Structure 1
Amino acid sequence: MADVEHTIGLLLGMEDDWPRAYESLLRRLGVVSGPDGKSHRTSSVRVTIEPFNLRYKPRHDLVIDRLAYWYYHPREWLKKIALMDDVYLLNSPFTFQSMEKHAAYCAMMRLGLKVPETVLVPYKNPLDNSRYAYTAARYNQSFDLDATAEQVGYPMYMKPYDGGAWVGVSKIRNPDELHTAYDASGERLMHLQASVEGYDVFARSLSIGPETMVMKFRPEQPMHNRYEVQHGFLTASQGDEVVTISRLVNAFFRWEFNSCESLVRGDDVHPIDYANACPDVAITSLHYYFPWAMAALLRWTVYCVVTGRKPRLDTDTSVYFAIGDDPSLSYAEKLAAYRRLADDYFEADKYADFCARYLGNVDEIVYEWVSSDEYQSLLRETVRATYPVHEHEKFLAHFGGLTDAWIRDNAPSDHPDRRP
């Protein structure tokens, strides 16, 4: 028996693929030795939603939240266990409003990142609030939407300040499209953001703790085909900047499970979306990259509970702003300073050492799992639950081929499947 037992809570919505994968990998990992000389066993439970007394003691050491960004009851439960019980949360519930993107834009602009020109415009339609008419009549200023758009410059995007999954996003090329999109926005609060035309690469980076996977993203493709399996599509300096921005955002807001979208044009990296309370980790969209995501999630969560990593709810924004506001620092110098802060927050060196010493078998465990009938069963069941019957064969072949490619690329050096 393990000397120390840890419990990780999974707060879930409609997802079932990655939770099943994570649960399976935790079981396969079994007992882990820790730097304290003790043996540690970590198990997971799916969190249920029910009344809770504010003084009750939760059983969880850590919670992976995928629900509370829209469901307020579990959000308040997260706040309670963070404030009263020091339960470790991968994403702070106290910076959720920054996940609405507006605050994230503001913070990253102040830090000097190359965020495209952005304007927040008032609601098109009156809010469903009895006080709106009085307030609007007295304080709302009439404005010229066309003049505002000219300040941003065509082409641009109109997108919800609190949106996700590209819902409500429109490309605006001229005044007619501007007014059509604004009229359709209704009671949604919208940003106008300048388009980065002629970009070379759309990069989407998924970060879990101190690990980041940068993937080539094609937003115009259907979801199963958006992540293109391609290596070396960024130069070393471009890749380093994309990773630095991703980890800076996460360290700044205390997010440890988040994705970032950046447009790379020449030597410039323009972050356009970096606040995702529920980043995509579905097997049917990440496909080739899904095993990496599960391995990173396994490593980071086990590291947190075994080492007793303490949650840091305070955000220390002044430390970052001191760098961003310093006119003597170049952009490259600021990025380097931000990277040091992010690496310190995520304990990057300590984490790497821990993984080498105590989790060195994770890659082997994940490889054997992806090669197993259990993984194939998970893939089949997910495809059947996601797509109509007449498309099952096509998508099973599609994702099966991508899985085979991952197996060939990640086979041990002495394995017959190893790709030369």
Structure 2
Amino acid sequence: MKKVGVLVGREVTFPESIINSINEKGNGEVVAEMVKVGGIRLDEEKKYDVIIDRISHEVPYYRAALKRMALEGTYIINNPFWWSADDKFFNFSLAAKLGVAIPKTVLLPQQDYIPDITSESLRNLEFPLDWEGIVEHVGFPAFLKPFDGGGWKNVSKIHSLEELWYEYNQTGKLCMTLQEGIEFDQFVRCYCVGQEKVLVMPYDPSKPYLSGMQYVNVDDYLSPELHARVEKDVITICKALGYDLNTVEFAIKDGVPYAIDFMNPAPDAEIASVGEYNHNWIVNALTDFIFEKLEKGFETPEYRWSALLSPPAQIAKEKTTAKAKTAKTAKTTKTTKEKSQAKNAGAK
């Protein structure tokens, strides 16, 4: 029996739906449940084949627990090591190099620091900053937002240098970015599952969360050409970042989809927020992805310790054995099919 665990925060409908979906499809051979953890020992045994992580970015204990579980071979959606290292400014830079349209963005030093940081600690830092040069590059309107954050927290729309200084001075120890504001004609949010399946959702970011008005069902919202480009960019981004579950947001201006946010490894999927259709799509797509991978095997991330725990010769032997078993199964299936066809031909 295979076990899938779900690690959750305050959300309700998505955990319930994904657990029910997996259990219905699993017929007792694959079982999903809420993860239960307490004090974790160094020699803790493997309990889950897969864990869907929805909350470790806000609970450090959960993040540490997931890393330990990965050591035993549990596949985590999403990879807790990369998620810990990732940030949005790096993502913008990477996506731009991959040919995705990204608004002009500048990383800013923190406004404040922990008590032990003094002026001597910051001798490498340019002071004062060239604020005029920064705003000349980015332009107005612009968005001041954390380099690593989500949920539209601590995000300000900026229209002038004076407004930028005021808002920047409220950010404290947060590291921020200033990004060109795209006055969009259209806006979409896209689910991506398994770095392959994409759902493009018309989205209105100006509407309040849980208002029921953010996600709008509009047929043919994008032209076929634009829809295809958005899908391509979503897959490019998620493959590059390695996220099996993610959302990518595009502000579209003059036919160009600018990717403005795509570090969402625990994307919103509550019915009250995303609507029934989108909720069902993400539940079904993730269920199918998990079952496909449980059957075919997950591509385990290249953890540095893997070579020490499983020497290269052993890994090569295991891969050769797996390939041989697959080839033998295929050959047996083919032989059985040929015999059946010959028998039917003889009967005729």
1:228 shift after superposition: 0.7
| Structure 1 counterpart of 2:75, from 60, 84, 88 | 88
Secondary structure at the counterpart of residue 79 of structure 1: helix
Match of 1:208, as an amino acid? V
- The gaps in structure 2 that reach 5 residues or longer are 305-348
Residue 177 of structure 1: CA displacement? 1.7
Matched, 1:284 2:303: no
Match for 1:14 among 5, 10, 13?
10
- Asked if the contact 2:7–2:52 (Cα under 8 Å) also holds between the matched residues in 1, the reply is yes
Partner of 2:230: 242
- TM-score, normalised with respect to structure 2: 0.81
Residue 96 of structure 2 corresponds to which residue in structure 1?
A: 109
Find out whether 1:232 has 2:220 as its counterpart: yes
Superposed CA offset, 1:140-176 (max 9, x none):
3211323321221112111111121111111111122
1:24 paired with 2:9, answer no
Of 66, 70, 77, the match for 1:78: 66
Any residues of structure 2 matched to 1:329-408 within 5 Å, and which? none
What is the Cα deviation at residue 230 of structure 1?
Answer: 1.2
Q: Within 5 A, what are the aligned runs for 1:3-402?
A: 5-31=1-27, 41-82=29-70, 84-97=71-84, 99-125=86-112, 127-136=113-122, 138-142=123-127, 143-197=129-183, 199-209=184-194, 210-223=196-209, 224-287=212-275, 288-313=277-302
1:225 match: secondary structure: coil
Give the letter for the 2:15 counterpart.
P
CA distance in 2, matches of 1:191, 1:96: 19
Q: State the alpha-carbon separation in 2 of the partners of residues 57 and 71 from structure 1.
A: 22
Instruction: Give the match for residue 377 of structure 1.
Output: none
SS of 2:136 mapped into structure 1: helix
Amino acid corresponding to residue 23 of structure 1 in structure 2 = I
164-173 vs 306-315, which deviates more? 306-315
The Cα of 1:98 is off from its aligned counterpart by: 5.2
Do the aligned partners of 2:190 and 2:234 also contact (CA within 8 Å) in 1?
yes
Choose 1 or 2 for highest CA Rg: 2
Distance (whole Å) between structure 1 residues aligned to residue 185 and residue 214 of structure 2? 16
> How far 1:97 sits from its partner (Å)?
4.1
Query: Quick one: distance in 1 between partners of 2:291 and 2:157?
Result: 42
Residues in 2 aligned to 1:44 and 1:27: alpha-carbon distance in whole angstroms: 6
TM-score, normalization: structure 1? Answer: 0.68
CA RMSD of superposed structures (Å): 1.9
Letter in 1 for 2:246: N
Amino acid at match of 1:206: Y
Structure 1 contact 91–277 (Cα < 8 Å) conserved:
yes
Q: Number of residues paired by the alignment?
A: 299
- Tell me, in whole angstroms, the C-alpha distance in 2 between the residues paired with 1:309 and 1:184: 44
For residues 181-240 of structure 1, give each alpha carbon's deviation from its aligned partner in whole angstroms, at most 9, with x where no partner exists.
11221221110111122x221110011212211101101112221011112111112111
Q: Which runs of 4+ in 1 moved over 4 A?
A: none
Q: CA deviation at 1:300?
A: 1.0
- Normalized per residue, the structure richer in helix is 1
Superposed CA offset, 1:289-328 (max 9, x none): 111111112111121112222323469xxxxxxxxxxxxx
Letter in 1 for 2:264: N
Letter aligned with residue 173 of structure 2: E
- Once residues 305 and 213 of structure 1 are traced to their aligned partners in structure 2, the CA distance between those partners, rounded to angstroms, is 23
Task: Letter of the 2:244 partner, please give it.
Answer: E
Is the contact between residue 23 and residue 32 of structure 2 (CA under 8 Å) also seen in structure 1?
Answer: no
Alpha-carbon distance in structure 2 between the residues aligned to 1:313 and 1:259: 24
Q: In the aligned structure 1, how far is the partner of 2:174 from the partner of 2:158? A: 17
Contact 1:99–1:276 (CA<8 Å) still a contact in 2?
A: no
Among the aligned pairs, what percent are the same residue? 26
Q: Which SS does the other structure have where 1:203 is aligned?
A: strand
What amino acid sits opposite 1:67 in the alignment? I
Deviation, structure 1 residue 48: 2.1
Instruction: Report the equivalent of 1:385.
Output: none
Give the conservation status (yes or no) of the 8 Å contact 1:99–1:277: no
Structure 1 residue 26: deviation in Å?
Answer: 2.4
Alpha carbons of 1:122 and 1:177: their partners in 2 closer, same or farther (altered >3 Å)?
Answer: same
Stretch of structure 1 that moved more, 12-21 or 145-154: 145-154
Structure 2 distance, partners of 1:180, 1:96, is 31
